[in-house]
Structure 1
Amino acid sequence: NVYTFSDLPPGKLKLVASDLTHGKMIVLPDDLEGYGISAETFPVARALRMSCGIPFFFEPVQLKVGKGETIVVDGGVLSNFPMWIFEDEHGNKERPVVGLKLSRSQDEMPGHKIDNALDLFESLFSTMKNAHDEKYISRKHERNIIFIPVDDYSATQFDMDEETKEALMEAGRSSTIQFLKTW
């Protein structure tokens, strides 16, 4: 029975999206007022759609703003791992937060091999997508993150067979069990 943000306790759901028109990251529902939109009446499903609209795979969301519109896509374009969203202005969290990151830890990440223009574009996009989050993931925060190595798979690999899905779930299960032994 959740349709709009007013159906949820205040502050219990926050989604990150990327406003391409204005070149900025937005947190939903917090930033809707800045667009002249009531957060309380805004549909949660639309906010979710805005936050996961992977460019070139899904059509961007057109958000009507006054007499114009704003183009909104996946928040992962600007912050693919927004653990900072759970902190107050002093960097404190209301409760413990555990993150699930679908990659190796930064220390284990191989460098990008750049041999041509396409490699350069992929490396540039990857850096833009991950640099902000990697700066946030310091040794202090890393202890609260479960790193699940999925190097050979991507978020846009929509045609995975059942065996691959099972292998990914097992990687998640194994990484989580290992993490919980020391957390």
Structure 2
Amino acid sequence: MTVAVQTQTLSSCARAATAQEARYRIDRPIAPSRAGRVVALDEGAADVLSRTAQHDWANARFYVCEAGAGAAGDVVLRGIDGGPATLADELASASVVVMVATNDSGVGGAYALGKACWERGIQTAGLVLGDGTHAGTAAAAAVAALRPHARVLLPSADEADVVDLLSALRV
């Protein structure tokens, strides 16, 4: 038995669910389109990124800003595995830079990264992780430090938001 469905009376959403329209659907996953660089601005963020880097990522690379980075406008990066990295080399192939902080100790690195990305037209995002129990302390200071340097800023108490943000950015 076959049931005929009149597509003229269906809404566009209902029509999209019909077998007739399903033949136009793309069944392959969407390819990652971004070359993301994810940078921890402090040691707490470095711990989070070392766990986050264990997930399967297509084009994301994970780094830690060295202590004292950003003085004189330069940034010293090291890979999450400890290997050295050059900011100019990493930004040359980056389409988005995500800065992660748990406190305001990386304000110099945030400034230098934000400025370098702005000069190159690279999208920036900031994620500040805090436990939410002591407002006005380290996490709030980190939000204030990152606010001028990240086009998108997400304060969060949940470490899983790092994975969610990177997934949403398709890195």
Q: Is TM more than 0.5 here?
A: no
Q: Indicate the structure (1 or 2) with the bigger Cα radius of gyration.
A: 2
**Taking structure 1 as the reference length, what is the TM-score of the superposition?**
0.28
